[in-house]
Amino acid sequence: MARRLSALPPGVVPRGLNIDQAAKYWGCGTSTFQKLVKLGIVRPIDMAGFERNIFDREALDEAMSARARQAS
């Protein structure tokens, strides 16, 4: 039986985030983050065969930076 890892080693930051993690990373709730997805402000990675969305942490950083530039 394969053992599933429950946590990453100390100091390893995941690059792929689920929607709850991505929302927390952006500092908002999941429902607000879902609205950002619907508006096209953030986009999940297209991964054929996966039933859930995965968000790239670096793409989230880029999207946040772009929004911050627009606001200034």
pLDDT tens per residue, range 15-56: 999 999 999 999 999 999 999 999 999 999 988 888 889 999
User: Given the structure tokens 């599933």, which residue do they identify?
Assistant: 4
Angle ∠(66,62,50) on CA atoms, nearest 5: 130
Tokens of 47: 């991964």
pLDDT of residue 8: 82
